[in-house]
Structure 1
Amino acid sequence: MIYLDHNATTPIDERVLDAMLPFLTTFYGNPSSLYRLGRVVRSAIETAREQIASLVDVQPGQVIFTSGGTEANNMALATGRSDAGLAVSAIEHPSIAEPARRLETQGRELAIIDVDADGLITQEAIDHIVRRKPGLASFMLANNETGVIQDVAKYAQQLREHQILVHTDAVQALGKIPVDFNRLGVHLMSLSSHKIYGPKGCGALVFEKGVEINPLLLGGGQEQELRAGTENVAAIIGFGKAAELAKAELAERGQRLLALREQLEDGLMAIPGLTIFARKAQRLPNTVQFGIDGLDGEMLLMKLDQKNVSVSSGSACASGAREPSAVLTAMGIEPDLAKSAIRVSLGQANAAADISKFIELLKSLL
């Protein structure tokens, strides 16, 4: 099988699995227990918190563990005054877009931050949001479909000057490009384990000290009384190890992925009628989304699957939808071309031979 859908999820790194296994067997204690077995587990969780904090250059106390990026995003949108307006970009992941719409039905004013044809937030859109004066604005660091990277630091600084809280969903960016919380200048940031070769079911919300977070889950006093519930210990340990590896190997991974992406794009551009979306914009080194005139993208995806090639049509969390991608629609892509979209997202295990085989199969199917 040729797996080319790493933005949906990544396989667990064997080194991560090795770190997790003792906490599924020997060290099974509840981290809130006061006896030795519990204390050992608590210490391991705090080590993982340090590893994740180090990857994004914050203090460990600024990291709250969650069940994944979706919960972290929902927590972020619930931050601040409940009567204040909300602004989110037009290209957000469903875990931002859907709760934002829910909050709108509950009385919060919702503003949409527009993007241009390359999927980039514009200065004009930010100026419009400043005039609306929402309590919180959320825009992702790197898009999960196109891979386009936003200038979060530039716009966060402007919004801060108007006392607007800023959140960024950095789930897709983490482990692929440098992610520095302080340099981005945001108040809140979401992360996820299974996008960086860690286990599913674990994520984190990173917050600036002084920001008042409204807990979604109440009960025990876990996670500084901001996220109740017994911790998913093994997954947290795995997330920490994955973060440690991502920091150590970031440059090497980025160079390899970029070389593979360039090989892929060279092959794709030789296909008549094919468009690479946002090709001129700065993008993640592993992500290419393209469309082909007159093609049914879902049909092509299934044909590739029959050839043991795994790709996607966009966000895995929105799969099954017959409507064109909301991201591509916001970019002004024609509906028929948007419906032909295929996303290829590369990972550590991919090699040049995989790219050559994919291009060969794609051409034969077309």
Structure 2
Amino acid sequence: MRLLSSYLIIAMCFVTSLANAARQPFELAGNSVPAGEQRSFLASVTNTEMVVPMTVFHGKKDGPVLTLSAGTHGDEFPAITALQRLRHEIDLAALKGTLILVHAANLPALHQYGLSALHPGDKKNLNREFPGSENGTATEQLAYFLTQEIVARSDYLADLHSGSAYQQLWPHIYAPFVGDEKLDARTLEWAKASGMQHIVLYGDRPRDPENSISYPNTAMTRGKPGLTLEIGDLGNNQEEDILAYLDALRRLIAGIDMLPSELPVSEGQVIYKQLIDVETPSMGFFEPHCEIGELVEAGALLGTVRDYFGEPIADLRAPKRGVVLMLRHTPPVNQGMGLITLGIE
């Protein structure tokens, strides 16, 4: 019996060794990463001078390909720092599958003078140009590269955002839906696995993969769960937001069984089925009367728009009962601008 057991153990080890040896290198943007290794590199965007910093962890064990992507906008920083830290804590020996970290998807926007979400070359919003164009403007070419190299190679995608330099934001996560019941259910369950307390069901993006508009929706229209996380605001890079991001990212990785986790199960998550933007009817100077994260009743005064002499010209009130998820921080506003976003349960 002991001899038979020894043969069985040797056979199992041999099979495991063969499986690891058979796992092919992971190819991404002209870079090859062997199984069991980690590589960080600057990926060149085809036919441009742009590069995208990436790290690939290619585990020896089979599993999904997950991309965590930060820096789509140039004034959103906590996720970038969180990915830098996450890079140093991934256990390759335990990893099932392949983890891609896109450290900053839009370097030109990140490094322009002054805080701006937009690419300086064409003043376009990368998160509105997917799936992009190989021969388009700079932003369209970048979107095309991310579609072809990242979305196409991924099984799951999480796009990591923050409130911009002029926006206060309550941490939340978007779980898109595209009318595919199984995919929508998988996406929502993955969003819940993040541990984030506020989950927004979001079905307003096009269902056409050739006009997918946003990064995660490009994944969804190709049959892959795609989430948007929002943590941090005002163009800041606060430690509490970085730590909140790290917690959510660890949970997302564990939530699809890529790494083990002993993190406690989250409770009390709130799901919002509608977002309402409260717009100003007038140009002027905005004075908020609500706070981020506040639950407001229908009809509550949310803010006042004043003229340049300080006289009130418009009161903004809540059309429904909801939670203030986003709030305009800087006072100058233009007619029709959304100043407050309410999440409706």
TM-score by length of 1: 0.28
| Bigger RCO of structures 1 and 2 (CA < 8 A, at least 6 apart) | 1
Q: Provide TM-score, normalisation by structure 2.
A: 0.29
| Larger of the two Rg values belongs to structure | 2
Q: Which has the higher helix share?
A: 1
